[in-house]
Homo-oligomer: A and B are copies of this chain.
């Protein structure tokens, strides 16, 4: 059943039926009801292809995930972000187009997406320090929201991020409070913006206690299980090994735990581990017992918020960009339940 058939059936013009279905005000209530009922009854849904061509909009949002640096993708809670965003898109009649692209093809992919009219906007994942994608998208005029931020980019753009710096400062302070003085950091890839902010937070925490960063116990790499395993072993082999480790993601933390197990060390007893997973989850050890708390619903909410931001940017192209900074809550001993993250708008200066 298409529009023509439906309007023929109703004895109305395609125009009127289209207007009734799309909520235009000039249709009489009586007609609208008739049309809606008939549409439902006949299982009519407008052809997405025709609608897209006629309106000139793609009715789709692209999510682009750089593949050689897979932080975002391997993150177990990343999917919740997509779920949240996808829900909002669906509510607004948009589809979610997922592009997993090689780093080197990224610029080309954005260009293609824009030129082909395949999407109306994109979400940028895994931003690097001074990420060139922001300039590219601005130049292309393709609306976008960055999931994360990019330091050293001077222009204004839409982003939603978690306060990584503060989160890591807190994690560091927590371990210092427990008496640790030699705290290692297993961080993400050096070029990633979130990793830079997390390092700064770690540094903040140490400085506040009058301590300095020891580069020997700080590392940056892709967050794989292998990395966590090898790096933890290396740390334990040092002449003066750390007494605590802060790990940027749950994935390398698995490897770290295995490395400890190999040596008969018990996390929480022989050594402390604080894990901070990406984005909106916060991990901390409780009385020296490691705790993992994934605040999945808050990640979902962040996805929804991102979608709202992008849809608004598409609808009102001339509004100034928006920013949303989410706070991650330090949760203690919540290992058997999800602790809701405290989310608040904190526009950074």
Contacts and interface: CB of A to CB of B under 8 A. Distances in A.
Contacts of A251: 76
A75 to B, nearest CB: 7
A86 B73 CA distance: 13
A268 interface: yes
Interface of A: 43-50, 52-53, 56, 58, 60, 63, 65, 67, 70, 73-80, 82-83, 86-87, 90, 95-100, 111-112, 115-118, 224-226, 229-230, 250-251, 253-255, 257-258, 261-262, 264, 266-269, 289-292, 294, 335-338
Enumerate the 5 nearest inter-chain pairs by beta-carbon distance, A residue then B residue, closest first.
A73-B79, A49-B52, A83-B100, A48-B116, A49-B53
* SS class, residues of chain A in contact with chain B: mixed
Contact of A268 (B90, B112, B261): B261
A313 B248 CA distance: 43
B225 A292 contact: yes
A63 to B, nearest CB: 8
B97 A97 contact: yes
A347 to B, nearest CB: 29
Nearest to A83: B100
B86 A79 contact: no
A258 B292 contact: yes
27 contacts: A43-B111, A43-B115, A44-B115, A48-B118, A49-B52, A49-B53, A49-B56, A49-B117, A60-B95, A63-B98, A73-B83, A74-B77, A78-B79, A79-B79, A83-B100, A86-B98, A225-B292, A226-B338, A229-B336, A253-B254, A257-B257, A258-B289, A258-B290, A258-B292, A261-B266, A261-B267, A266-B266
